[in-house]
Structure 1
Amino acid sequence: MNEKTKAYLAALSFSAIIGFSFLFTKIALGYASPLTNLAHRYTIAALVMVVFHQTKLIKVSLSRKDILSILPMSLFYPLFFLFFNPLLYSIYRLLKLEFYRLLSRFLRSF
């Protein structure tokens, strides 16, 4: 497998993981709070990475320059997710409540 094919597979895998994460998050929010779901998500991700590193399935060699270039995204992505996930969950619940309130008013008008 050449490098171009590996790059396309990596991009496709990344897109699938990110895309399905919202679906799984929506399902999981029916069972636990947003912060509990995030705690489980990051714990599982850390355990998978430790297993991959210990079994030598991945090789990690990062220079100081690499770490400094990755650091902003590694800090801001979880912070944005921690901020927007509960916010969107709250908006979803409010819209759902408002929908049922409007539906009950509509049905009472008949």
Structure 2
Amino acid sequence: MVDFNIQVTSSAIKRVKTLLAKRGDAKLRISVESGGCSGMQYKYEFVQEIEEGDQVIKKEGIVILIDPISREFLEGSIVDYVQNLGSAYFEIRNPQASAKCGCGNSFAV
């Protein structure tokens, strides 16, 4: 499988490690689905199995999975975990997004 360009910040890695510690041998799956107020939305879920065709990203002891269709939409993205006064969330800075909603979880291409 050909590698693709996605970065995961140290803040995101630290948060994923914390969340995975409670879930045994789970992996974080990041996918892109139709929906949200901008047309496409990010989905995060913990899974046990790697599916055929998944892009497997291993960083500092964590495993992130991205399915083949989502790869197209996430190419060149940066996955971050942001903590502000009163909020904390995963953020994907996606260079392919032409617009995004106020919550940052949906986007248009």
Q: TM-score, with normalisation over the residues of structure 1?
A: 0.21
Q: Which has the higher contact order (CA 8 A, sep 6+)?
A: 2
| Larger-gyration structure (1/2) | 1
Structure having the higher strand fraction is: 2
